[in-house]
């Protein structure tokens, strides 16, 4: 049987999984990535964990997802702030270490690809995936392929400008989508509201997107208003994306997306205000199924 090795290379840990032809993980493992290791040291450590997993099996391919600015074509990690890397030729380092063909890509593309390959129908050709985690990542699937653009930088949907001089974003600009729909900012502004004496059962709780959702489902007006605002801003952004890409489906993934209908309802309401009906009526907005291994599977499936 032919296996693929998927690697999800994050700022604190490396997750590895052997993926079978049915797109299931049959064996997985992990190791710390830390910020103190050089790329060469980390690749050695990955080899120590991966080689025993690969031994005696027909491994056709290794795929890797990395957070950062990735040149997928050349196989280079241009910049990864989480790993403290610059211009690391990760593809060739790993090929040498593991003796298999390697493809690398950024984590948002890999997550989108994993969700596309495991949660969408094969008839879907044009899809967008927004990962609403701490930040907001985007992956664009067109004609059944990841659209990476000229330098592999495409898909920065989280930093679309929503409002000039709007909320500050950690990227340094103001008014990015992430500043309204990223989990860290949702929590930050929820807390600001509570400090400003908003009445809510959230008072005194540790605020997380999940807690805000729970409170909203219990009917808490303040919690509901938080998701209304997030959904409203997402609705404006998705309206632009629907007009631009005319996709069949937009899937929302990540912790914030678990708010479910609390955000999809205001999104749909916003989309319905758009006057060009054909693209709006022909797009589905869906919440991704929870799948914490989507980074491994997406990476494993990067090559055909």
Q: In what order do the strands lie in the sheet with 284-287?
A: 145-146, 136-142, 127-132, 249-253, 284-287
Helix and strand numbers (H, E) in the chain are 10, 13
Contacting range for its own copies; rule: CB under 8 A; set: 4-12, 104-112, 168-176, 185-193: 168-176
Please tell me what DSSP assigns to residue 67: S
Give the span between the Cα atoms of 269 and 90, in whole angstroms: 44
Q: Could you tell me the CA-to-CA distances from 86 to 34, 39, 89 in Å, in that order?
A: 15, 10, 9
Give the span between the Cα atoms of 226 and 157, in whole angstroms: 21
**Sole binder of its own copies in the list 157, 226, 259, 294 (CB under 8 A):** 157
Contacting range for its own copies; rule: CB under 8 A; set: 32-40, 112-120, 170-178, 254-262: 170-178
Contacting range for its own copies; rule: CB under 8 A; set: 8-16, 98-106, 167-175, 295-303: 167-175
| Least separation in angstroms between CB 154 and its own copies | 4
Nearer to its own copies, 184 or 194 (CB): 184
Contacting range for its own copies; rule: CB under 8 A; set: 110-118, 189-197, 242-250, 259-267: 242-250
Residue 283 exposed, middle or buried by CB count within 10 Å (0-12, 13-18, 19+): buried
**Sole binder of its own copies in the list 66, 154, 216, 299 (CB under 8 A):** 154
Distance of CA 186 to the CA centre of its chain: 17
Q: Is 261 a binder of its own copies (CB under 8 A)? A: no
Residue 76 exposed, middle or buried by CB count within 10 Å (0-12, 13-18, 19+): buried
Q: Is 168 a binder of its own copies (CB under 8 A)? A: no
Nearer to its own copies, 18 or 146 (CB): 146
Q: Is 86 a binder of its own copies (CB under 8 A)? A: no
Contacting range for its own copies; rule: CB under 8 A; set: 6-14, 154-162, 197-205, 210-218: 154-162
Q: Is 156 a binder of its own copies (CB under 8 A)? A: yes
Measured distance between the N- and C-terminal CA atoms of the chain, rounded to whole angstroms: 16
Give the span between the Cα atoms of 93 and 112, in whole angstroms: 25
**Sole binder of its own copies in the list 38, 92, 203, 273 (CB under 8 A):** 273
Nearer to its own copies, 6 or 247 (CB): 247
Nearer to its own copies, 10 or 279 (CB): 279
Q: Is 161 a binder of its own copies (CB under 8 A)? A: yes
Q: How many residues form the binding site for its own copies (CB under 8 A)? A: 45
Give the span between the Cα atoms of 12 and 291, in whole angstroms: 19
Residues contributing to the site for its own copies (CB under 8 A): 69, 78, 125-126, 138, 140, 142-143, 147-157, 159-161, 163-164, 171-173, 236, 239-241, 243-248, 273-276, 278-279, 282-283
């Amino acid at each position: 049987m032919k296996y693929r090795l998927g690697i999800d290379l994050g700022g604190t840990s490396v997750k590895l999984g052997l993926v079978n032809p049915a797109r299931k993980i049959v064996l997985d493992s992990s190791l710390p990535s830390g910020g103190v290791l050089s790329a060469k040291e980390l690749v050695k450590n990955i080899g120590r964990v991966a080689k025993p997993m690969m031994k005696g099996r027909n491994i056709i391919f290794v795929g890797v997802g990395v957070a950062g600015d990735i040149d997928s074509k050349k196989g280079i990690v241009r910049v990864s702030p989480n790993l403290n890397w610059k211009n690391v030729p990760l593809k060739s380092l790993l090929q040498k270490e593991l003796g298999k063909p390697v493809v690398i890509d950024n984590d948002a593309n890999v997550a989108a690809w994993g969700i596309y390959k495991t949660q969408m129908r094969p008839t879907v050709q044009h899809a967008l995936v927004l990962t609403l985690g701490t930040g907001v990542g985007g992956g664009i699937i067109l004609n059944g392929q990841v659209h990476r653009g000229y330098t592999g930088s495409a898909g920065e949907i989280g930093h679309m400008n929503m409002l000039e001089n709007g909320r500050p974003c950690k990227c340094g600009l103001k008014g990015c989508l992430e500043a309204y729909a990223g989990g860290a900012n949702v929590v930050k502004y929820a807390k600001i509201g509570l400090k400003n004496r908003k009445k809510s059962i959230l008072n005194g709780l540790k605020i997380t997107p999940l807690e805000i959702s729970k409170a909203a489902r219990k009917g808490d007006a303040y919690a509901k208003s938080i998701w209304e605002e997030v959904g409203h801003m997402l609705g404006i952004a998705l309206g632009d994306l629907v007009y631009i890409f005319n996709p069949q489906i937009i899937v929302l993934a990540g912790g914030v997306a678990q708010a479910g209908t609390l955000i999809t309802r205001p999104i749909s309401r916003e989309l319905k205000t758009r006057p060009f009906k054909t693209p709006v009526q022909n797009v589905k907005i869906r919440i991704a199924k929870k799948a914490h291994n989507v980074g491994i599977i997406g990476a494993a499936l990067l090559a055909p």
